[in-house]
Amino acid sequence: MEPRTFAPLDRILGEIDKAIRVLAAPARAARVAPPVAAAGPDLDEAERRQSCRLMRVNHAGEVAAQALYQGQALSAGDPGVAAAMRRAAAEEADHLAWCESRLRELGGHTSILNPLWYLGSFALGALAGALGDRASLGFIGETERQVESHLHDHLQRLPAADLASRAILEQMKHDETGHAATSAALGGSDLPLSVRAAMRLSSRLMTRTSYWI
């Protein structure tokens, strides 16, 4: 049976539906949140605020990841690469749900700029996909390496008592390492230094803004 093909309008409507699900619907995880070995002490108000801000940044990053993978899957030339992008997006959906749930537990809120992060990341993903599968996979690999570094930094900055958030970030870091390895195995190329620097700059803008709003 041949795979079903969709008209351009159908594909556009499908992407709009995905964006609404990420930005407006409660996130749902296929995997349960990483378990906490033991209950830690209660967070004081300063610790709670710090955890809220860090988890809001991570939630915004997962919103961007959803858009990035969907944009790349849309423009990928190889069906196998497109399928790999969608599998990674499904795993990132777990991260999105875990961060969202933890934010609610902490009494925090998601970034009001999430629609902007989604739109910009989707455009970047679609552009990377249009440049060819090797460049697109290289873009994913570099993104995941930067995210892994960012998560390492957050693990250092989280309050020691916030064991639940720490367990989530550690599992996310493990998953991102796997995504980077997959992109390399599929033939991702190394990006030019200037592109990597631009990616770090845009990531820094998103993380610093989402920390506050």
2 — pLDDT class (breaks 50, 70, 90): very low
Claim: this prediction has a pTM higher than 0.75: yes
Residue type, 199: M
> Which pair of tokens denotes residue 77?
């030339």
pLDDT digits (tens, 9 = 90+) for 47-68: 999 999 999 999 999 898 888 8
1 — pLDDT class (breaks 50, 70, 90): very low
> Which pair of tokens denotes residue 159?
């309050």
User: DSSP character for 107?
Assistant: T
Superfamily of domain 43-212: Ferritin, core subunit, four-helix bundle (1.20.1260.10)
Residues 6+ apart with CB under 8 A from 194: none
Q: For the chain, which residues make up each domain, given as ranges?
A: 43-212
Residues 88-104: what's their mean pLDDT? Answer: 89
